[in-house]
Chains A and B, each alone.
Chain A
């Protein structure tokens, strides 16, 4: 076991920056392994939100007073931080949304509604979160289009040939997860994008589970749309980013109508605002946008490469540890994985396992992970899922393994 990373990547110092990690649950220290559901927040993010409300709270883009100028500056500065974080070409390509769900809906309702017609098709994958199924299903139903599902294998890896076979002339957009939430699979997105682009099909990547773990470079990926969830990457809830290539965003009709997304309004006609404001109707979530940018800076400071390296160590350690437990089966064994371990314990329902582990202070997710088709694929109702962030430790995984043994003792 290498200790090299530990020296340069000081997990205990990092943990000290996350107030929630030091709390206890039922008298036991919290072992938080539900990061794919949401991550904990560092002190700097919490402070940034508080500071916004205490010092510069005001509306953006319209006030001439000092507070409004400061708020606008901070809010637009946050956009530029997110632009750098995902390496977009311009802040115009960074649209604030409530989260990845809203981002996918925005694209489905604007790009989708203006490009997908009767007889056309949309391609998604077999490992989708409900949020990247339902918006497309709604679109296809409305337009009389076909929703095609790219297959995966037993390990939870995308079947690239099967995917390629679906990319016919009817397909107007591909929407796929960068990283699967239920299985942890990291998809071969560059290859998927290249195959789609060969046929002139744009690709949306759902990055909810990727941005907390990997370096995202939208120019290098050459994806057409990319979605980021704030709360899954150590930022606040209720904020996220939709990235879109400027030319595509420019050509898309607006979605929500209201203030801020207009240039001029008469009762006869409205002229829409420029990007990115065209897609941001109403007073935005200023405080949380600022908080998210602080989270992004925090991750950048830690180093995305070091985060990925540490999490890979955790994943390898946890996978070996859990595979060694009798009666335990890991679901999702892709060669390329993010730090997610979904598992089944022989004869024990995940819900019972989750309840027992909870009383041990161990927070994991049990259920279908908003990915019922993935559960159907494996013919199971649910799994238990441990998902790690950079602040997790080997000791957390040891506690999980010991907890699972307790579960087995109780139900054995």
Chain B
């Protein structure tokens, strides 16, 4: 089961059991809903965006261990970042979980690098990216819910 432990690394299990930044922020400036029709997971991300910088964000909704941990670690990694930085991190993260070569060294992703095992489980890529797509929709202030399909 070694590759299973590549997927479910300790940090992922920890964040899935004790997600950080769960709930919704008061005075949110931006928000969006996300939906993964494949597994039925739904998520909502609320953001306080000030001067193009993510001041605060939270997520709510129940999902699998991968999607919950991904949302939790995402909130930690983008807080205080500009929109451009968020896009850049997501693009690198996306390359990592889909098994492509990231534009920047994976170390730059910090803790997010624990999701490298996802690339061996193609059916689970959408679990890892749902929160990110939802965050992007929130930053775009999209009124329609995003879907991974």
Contacts from A to B (Cβ < 8 Å) = 348-352, 355-356, 359, 366-368, 372, 375, 381-382, 406, 410-411
Q: Given A349-B64, A351-B39, A411-B65, 20 other A-B contacts at CB below 8 A?
A: A349-B39, A349-B41, A349-B65, A351-B41, A351-B64, A351-B66, A352-B64, A355-B4, A355-B7, A359-B1, A368-B40, A381-B41, A381-B42, A381-B62, A382-B39, A382-B40, A382-B41, A406-B1, A410-B4, A411-B8
Q: Contact between B127 and A351 (Cβ–Cβ < 8 Å)?
A: yes
Nearest-neighbour CB distance to chain B for A126, whole angstroms, equals: 17
Q: Which parts of B91-111 form the interface with A (CB within 8 Å)?
A: none
CB 8 Å contact bits of B34-59 with A (1 = contact, 0 = none):
00001111100000000000000000
Please report which residues of chain B, range 1-44, place their CB below 8 angstroms from some CB of chain A when the two chains form the complex.
1, 3-4, 7-8, 13, 16-17, 38-42
Residues of A within 8 A of B65 (CB): 348-349, 352, 411
Tell me if A367 and B40 are in contact (CB < 8 A). Answer: yes
A375 touches B124 (CB 8 A): no
Q: Are B39 and A381 in contact (CB under 8 A)?
A: yes
Chain B residues, Cβ within 8 Å of A382: 39-41
Most buried by A among B3, B4, B7, B123: B4
A372 engages B40 (CB within 8 Å): yes
Q: Which residues of B contact A359 (CB under 8 A)?
A: 1, 3-4
Find the residue from A352, A372, A375 having the highest chain B CB count within 10 A: A352
In Å, the complex CA distance between A372 and B65 comes to 21
- Is B63 located at the chain interface by the 8 A CB criterion? yes
Q: Shortest beta-carbon distance, B79 to chain A, in Å?
A: 25
Report the number of A-B residue pairs with Cβ-Cβ less than 8 Å: 55
CA distance A93 to B1 in the complex (A): 52
Q: Which residues of A contact B39 (CB under 8 A)?
A: 349-351, 366-368, 381-382
- Whether the pair B4, A351 counts as a contact (CB closer than 8 A) is no
**B interface, how many residues as a size bin?**
20 to 34
Residue in B closest to A376 when the chains form the complex, CB atoms: B40
In the complex, chain A residues whose CB is within 8 Å of the CB of B66? 351-352
User: Which of A350, A355, A367 lies in contact with B121, CB distance below 8 A?
Assistant: A355
Tell me which residues across on chain B come within 8 A of A349, comparing CB atoms: 39, 41, 62-65, 68
Cβ contacts under 8 Å, B68 to chain A: 349
Contacting residues, chain A, for B41 (C-beta < 8 A): 349, 351, 381-382
Are B4 and A381 in contact (CB-based, < 8 A)? no
Chain B 65-106: CB-based contact to A (< 8 A → 1; otherwise 0): 110100000000000000000000000000000000000000
**Cα distance A381–B38 when bound, in Å?**
10
Chain B 115-149 interface mask (CB, 8 Å, partner A; 1/0): 00000010110010000000000000000000000
Give Cα A349 to B4, complex, Å.
16
Cα-based distance from A355 to B127 in the complex (angstroms): 12
- Nearest Cβ distance between residue A355 and chain B, in whole angstroms? 6
Which residues in B have their C-beta under 8 angstroms from that of A356? 4
14 contacting pairs across A/B (C-beta < 8 A): A349-B64, A351-B41, A352-B8, A355-B7, A355-B121, A367-B40, A368-B39, A372-B40, A375-B40, A381-B40, A381-B42, A381-B63, A382-B40, A411-B8
Residues from chain B with a CB closer than 8 A to the CB of A367 are 38-40
How far apart sit A348 and B66, CA to CA, in the bound complex (Å)?
11
Q: What 7 A-B pairs have minimum CB-CB distances, sorted nearest first?
A: A381-B40, A349-B64, A351-B64, A382-B40, A368-B40, A352-B65, A351-B39
- Nearest-CB residue, chain B, relative to A354: B123
CB of B131, distance to nearest CB on chain A (Å)? 14
Closest chain A CB from B34 CB (angstroms) = 13
B63 CB contacts on chain A under 8 angstroms = 349, 381
Assembled-state Cα–Cα distance A352/B68 (Å): 11
Shortest Cβ distance from A410 into B: residue: B8
Roughly how many angstroms separate A381 CA and B68 CA in the complex, as a whole number?
A: 14
A91, B8: Cα distance in complex, Å: 55
On chain B, the residues within 8 Å of A375 by CB distance are: 40
Please measure, in the bound complex, the distance between the C-alpha atom of A352 and the C-alpha atom of B66, giving whole angstroms.
Answer: 8
Minimum CB–CB distance for A131 against chain B, Å: 16
Chain B: CB-nearest residue to A349: B64
Complex contacts, B17 vs chain A, CB 8 Å: 411
Q: Report Cα–Cα, A359/B3, bound state, in Å.
A: 9
Contacts of B121 in A (CB 8 A): 355
**Closest chain A residue to B5, Cβ basis:** A410
Flag if A411 contacts B40 (CB, 8 Å): no
Q: How far is the CA of A350 from the CA of B8 in the complex (A)?
A: 15
